[in-house]
Amino acid sequence: MLRIKSSPDQGGGLSEPRPIEWSDVLDDGYEVRRFQPSHLSERFEGRDKKLDNPLKEKYPDARFVGKDWSTQAFYTWGSEATPDSSSLFQCLRAGQSEKIYWDPSEVNAAIVNCGGLCPGLNSVIRELTMMLHLYGVKKVYGIIGGYKGVMEPENWIELTPDVVQEIHLKGGSFLVSDRGNPPHYKMAEMFREHNVRQIFIIGGDGTHKGASTIYEEASGIEGAQTLPGCALDPPYECSVVGVPKTIDNDIALLDYTFGFHSAVEEAVRAIDAAYVEASGNANCLGLVKLMGRSSGFIALEATLSARNVDLCLIPEMDIDMSKVLDYIVELKKTRKHVVIVVAEGLGDTVIKGEGFDAGGNKKLADVGPWFKKQVEDHFKSKGIPLSIKYIDPSYQIRACPPDPFDSVYCSVLAQNAVHAAMAGYTGITVGKIDENYVVLPIQAITELPSKVVDVHGRGFGRMLVTTRQPDLGPDVPAAAPAEAPAEVPAKSPTAKRGSLYSAQAHAAFSNADGKATKTYLSEPLDIEDVFMKNDVMTRYELQHLSSREPGANVSSPILHTEGAVREDMKVFKNENSWSTSSVWKREDENKGAEQLQFLRAGPREVLYWDPKTVKAAIVNCGGICPGLNSVIREIVMMLDMYGCKDIFGIIGGYKGVMEPDTWLKLTPKYVDEVHLKGGSFLVSDRGNPPHIEMAKIFRDRGITHVYIIGGDGTHKGVMQTYEQMLNIDYKCSMCGIPKTIDNDIALLDFTFGFHTAVDKAVEAIDAAYVEATCNANCMGLVKLMGRHAGFIAMHACLAARNVNLCLIAEMDIDMETVKEYIADEMARKKYCVVVIAEGLGDTLIKGSGADAGGNKSLGDVGPWFKKQIEQHMKELKRPFTCKYIDPSYMIRASPPDCFDSVYCSNLAMAAVNGCFAGYTGFSVGKVSNHYVMIPIDEITGRKSRTIDLRSHWFSRLVYTTQQPSMTAKPGSEKVTMKRMITHGFRAKDKAGSGLIEKSEVSSVLEEMGMAAASTGPLLEIKAFNVDGKISYEKFAEWLYP
């Protein structure tokens, strides 16, 4: 059912629900089809084994998936131009199944990786190995040398948890990657000889084509790639599973591939070096060449992240070199320094290479030196002095270990690959689509064209806004490539972002009549096949200022600004552009779910505000967070691009609004390099004056745009100030930009600063691991931020992989169980790494008071926890030392990593676009991988996110740490009482000394039902008394021996 929630100025009520129709979620011409992954029971009839999953016994609280389906996020454009036919897809959700096909004790598994190197290969290999052994697989082979190594017996090595324990710390692949392959049927025979029942193949598009052929050969299927008569007879029962990788990020359908973000991180380092050279040498230009054969995603993303690039050229662009050279001359005249980024794929567009490599890829000409010489010659011909500092980090960006973002992604992909194989799926690959992890037929990615940057789309438009480069194509548009489908031109000016690709998908999988031509793809689904009968979808309308007063209704200047969005780009949205969160179709039809629909963020062609009349104010509140300066900078840059010149930054949060001397005039020049620093140059603060007074100040100063950056509490302040604006009848666009490293804001995929905080947290965990493993009988203990939500601790543990125990505030924790587990780990391994979240300072122990923002002060759980373990090990008379690390403020004080940097840019752009369009009382964020505008009260009115202990994410954590439940173990009533009383005593022990006052012991005992008269004499027993206090653990031991 669909219901519409009106904006606050329209009453904020809900409409009567009605049935959902396709037109509510999709434009005309779109359809949804289902990818059907192959299952071994289909090929081997009568052998659909349904065995109990051994993980169920080990982790009984884990949530297991049924045959649940996830549909790509729906979106509408609200404009006339639509493709003739385009497809979105419904995919099987990935995760552990309650019943499995394979008996793990009878499985041999093999892992092979092919193609070029990529950050994260070792991480995937390690996690595949660990997960297979966790299931109970006895023999796991690693094959050295890619597909070629399959045919060499000496290249088959056995992988155990000990063998792979630390390989994720290194770049490259310890299995040694290679290109090329022997005949696939011979490889299938070799896998049969080794009785391999699960084959995991890591690689890109070409590698996946090989995996598909191995699957067909082994299964006895005469496929498109198999050699006639060479399929195995009889067919061989095995699961073939791909794990997609490429730093180019060009694999079809997927949000991204592992290794991409790490490659961008390294690429930005090269760009930063070029910027230093260009700005520190006279008459200097910094030139960087980055990888990207046919797609410019690395160059584009690195340019967005670095923010100091003046010109970015990628292979998808039509380029007129004479225009490029003249533009570079103009840049040198108008700017102190110039930085240019070119993608290697220009070696097949502006110049041509010759021949092919071992993998069949066309060799590219080396465009970097060629481009450098072109520029040098052009400047020389004009008599202009120039020095070019050329940087080519090509192989450096793919040879590094994965960053934490990629590391977590590698873990999840590997775990899901093993889950899928155990469930009996074959000929499949795993990935993430619109923030949902799914299982796909391999052909879903091999039979689609590789992804490329849409030069008419949003990502490319954001890059143009950042660099402000003009259109550098030839005056007459180049003809579409001959191989592009005639009905979908590769660079059609009418193709919309996303629709171009979905139209290509439709053409690849359907005939002229629209009928599916592939067995793994369904016919178009009915709406009942996508939504469950009890689903409720709510459309959230935003308040628009036109409901109170007509606007200026001027044409957007970013259409006409030199170096901004070109007229042929299709990036504009309107009031009918909606995005719907990803829809799940569960096996249990009766459950139902809440589906959310928000207005899509993005520029509007007609503006409510005339930029010449706009005055803007920027405020940030609450704790500092990586990326604050980046958001502030990008808001200023975007406002300036629109033509707004009156921009103020308010120092000191909400309090600063009331102080005239804290209003700082901001210009692009002023904020040019602030993103390079952590924290906020506007100085954040907590607390606020009356919201009505702030509203009056904004009115009196003629402020028409207010941008407020902060977390949940700050957004509540935005909402209250916005309501006061209504009360005083002042017209102003107010927008919140959500931030918190805790990642606990409702509805959003994530908040900016979170990924950077995880990155820094991993550094602390790695240090603790070094200490623990390099000192005798040592435990490394790390306390991480996370007041009520353990997302930082959980993701950091997943990324680090070397944590033995992770404790977060959401868990029900019995300290006696914790102590016993740590003691056992120390006895077994002689070391242990433990991560605890600060929120345990409100569960295991209690704090008191509140901070300026009204947040409850937490007890400092780190030193307390350390003392508890030290005391326990002392009582056991075992040698023990603890190295304690508390990086709390370090993880929030750093500049943003590349992922957060790009996210900050996009959020800031979305905020400015929304305000100029005339919306107010909204926040911006990413929901199901789409940027949207959300009514602020929908964020503030919902409970903050916490980790669901039955979720897949928590399961991934315990699969990685392999920790058992930390709840109290079953025991006698005496044991239960002893633990309850001890827990009560500990809550009083703020210092973690093991000692508390006699009065506090009495109060705990009385709470447990013991009469005061009977407790007093007990406390006088000398054995429990230490310096006038009571040793409560000894007392509890005596009370309940």
Q: Report the catalytic residues.
A: 248
Residue type, 886: D
Residue type, 8: P
The counts of H helices and E strands in the chain are: 32, 42
The token pair at 835 is 């991560």
Token look-up 């999840």 returns: 412
The CA-based dihedral angle spanning residues 1019, 1021, 1022, 1023, taken in that order and rounded to the nearest 10 degrees = -100
- Give the DSSP letter of residue 663: E
DSSP string, 396-453: TTTSSPPPHHHHHHHHHHHHHHHHHHHTTEESEEEEEETTEEEEEETHHHHSSPPP--
Quick check: 200 and 107 in contact, CB under 8 A? no
Task: Tell me phi and psi for residue 809, to 5 degrees.
Answer: -65, -25
Alpha carbon distance 199, 191 (integer Å): 8
Q: Is 597 helix (H, G, I), strand (E, B) or coil?
A: strand
Alpha carbon distance 301, 157 (integer Å): 38
Q: Is 60 helix (H, G, I), strand (E, B) or coil?
A: coil
Quick check: 238 and 200 in contact, CB under 8 A? no
Alpha carbon distance 979, 985 (integer Å): 10
Cα–Cα–Cα angle for 541, 542, 546, nearest 5°?
120
Q: Is 360 helix (H, G, I), strand (E, B) or coil?
A: coil
Q: Is 494 exposed, middle or buried (0-12, 13-18, 19+ CB in 10 A)?
A: middle
Q: At what angle do helices 121-135 and 404-422 cross, to 10 degrees?
A: 40
The CA-based dihedral angle spanning residues 919, 923, 926, 927, taken in that order and rounded to the nearest 10 degrees = -90
Q: Is 618 helix (H, G, I), strand (E, B) or coil?
A: strand
Q: Is 236 helix (H, G, I), strand (E, B) or coil?
A: coil
Half-sphere exposure for 860 (CA within 13 Å, toward CB): 10
> Bridge-partner residues for 572, per DSSP?
none
Q: At what angle do helices 898-916 and 628-642 cross, to 10 degrees?
A: 40
Length of the chain: 1041
Alpha carbon distance 941, 908 (integer Å): 23
Omega prior to 228 cis, within 30 of 0 = no
Strands of 503-555 (E only): list them. 536-540, 543-544, 554-555
Tell me which H or E stretch contains 280.
helix 260-280
Q: Is 738 helix (H, G, I), strand (E, B) or coil?
A: strand
973 Cβ contact partners less than 8 Å away, ≥ 6 residues apart: none
Alpha carbon distance 815, 834 (integer Å): 14
What is the DSSP pairing of strand 615-620 with strand 239-244? unpaired
Strands of 132-259 (E only): list them. 139-143, 156-158, 196-203, 239-244
Quick check: 754 and 731 in contact, CB under 8 A? no
Alpha carbon distance 492, 316 (integer Å): 13
Alpha carbon distance 1025, 796 (integer Å): 42
Alpha carbon distance 23, 748 (integer Å): 25
Handedness of CA 920, 707, 717, 895 (dihedral sign): positive
